[in-house]
């Protein structure tokens, strides 16, 4: 099996070179909007797409227009935290080009959400497989965030088809996803997401 570092590099190169991004991102957003899991989610937590990640602003804006609770991730003390936003105007570009809630919004304790309060997470990544395997950027931010979610929460990854591989190497710390949506398909693993189990030493 290919090493994680090699897979990350290949997947990022493919994603960076993805042509016709606009129509493909629109197709992904349409698939997401039609999912029953997304429609019934009371609280959704989302990343804000940067660089070559699948864009999420349209999905976020749609939820806000419907008055649906939407939290956005931001970095805090080496991990990801969640903050409710009421408008895309409450986002600003932070370090590394990431878009996060502005400090005045983060300072409002009533806007804070715990991972266990979220029904569905929109998740980025570099490579995915049809069984829900996911490789991120190697820092474990989303593995820790999703690992703190309540049982039954939905982990929905957004990706281009070029990011799909036959099998992603998973470690005991890696958290798989329930769904992967690309411009061509919706992948539904047969089992709910659970943390990868350590291999037996025997």
CATH classification at residue 178: 3.40.50.10420
CA 48 centroid distance within chain: 9
Q: Residue 13 — pLDDT band, cuts 50, 70, 90?
A: very high
Query: Is 201 a domain residue?
Result: no
Is pLDDT at 64 greater than 80 in this prediction? yes
Is pLDDT at 139 greater than 60 in this prediction? yes
Domain total of the chain: 1
Query: Is 202 a domain residue?
Result: no
Q: 70 - beta bridge partners? A: 44
Domain range spanning residue 135?
Answer: 4-187
Q: Residue 138 — pLDDT band, cuts 50, 70, 90?
A: confident
Query: Is 158 a domain residue?
Result: yes
In angstroms, the CA 175 to CA 54 distance is 20
**Helices and strands (H and E) in the chain: how many:** 6, 12
For 41-56, write each residue's pLDDT tens digit.
999 999 999 999 999 9
For 71-105, write each residue's pLDDT tens digit.
999 999 889 999 999 999 999 998 777 899 999 99
Query: Is 193 a domain residue?
Result: no
CA distances from residue 103 to 12, 72, 108, 111, 145 in whole angstroms, order as listed: 30, 13, 9, 12, 21
Q: What is the DSSP letter of 97?
A: G
Query: Is 120 a domain residue?
Result: yes
pLDDT at 24: 98
Q: 71 - beta bridge partners? A: 45, 84
pLDDT at 191: 57
Question: Which residues are CB-neighbours of 20 under 8 A, at least 6 positions away?
Answer: none
Query: Is 200 a domain residue?
Result: no
């Amino acid at each position: 099996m290919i090493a994680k570092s090699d897979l990350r590099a290949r997947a990022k190169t493919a994603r960076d070179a993805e042509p016709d991004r606009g129509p493909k991102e629109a197709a992904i957003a349409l698939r997401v909007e039609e999912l029953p899991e997304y429609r019934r989610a009371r609280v959704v937590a989302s990343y804000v797409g940067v660089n070559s990640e699948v864009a999420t602003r349209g999905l976020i804006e749609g939820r806000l227009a419907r008055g649906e609770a939407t939290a956005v991730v931001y970095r805090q003390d080496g991990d990801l935290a969640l903050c409710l936003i009421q408008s895309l105007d409450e986002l600003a570009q932070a370090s590394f080009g990431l878009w996060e809630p502005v400090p005045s919004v983060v300072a409002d304790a009533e806007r804070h959400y715990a991972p266990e309060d979220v029904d569905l997470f929109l998740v980025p990544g570099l490579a995915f497989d049809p069984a829900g395997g996911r490789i991120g950027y190697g820092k474990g931010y989303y593995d820790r965030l999703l690992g703190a979610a309540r049982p039954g929460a939905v982990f929905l990854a957004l990706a281009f088809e070029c990011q799909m591989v036959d099998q992603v190497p998973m470690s005991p710390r890696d958290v798989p996803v329930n769904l992967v949506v690309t411009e061509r398909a919706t992948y539904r693993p047969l089992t709910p997401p659970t943390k990868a189990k350590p291999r037996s030493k025997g």
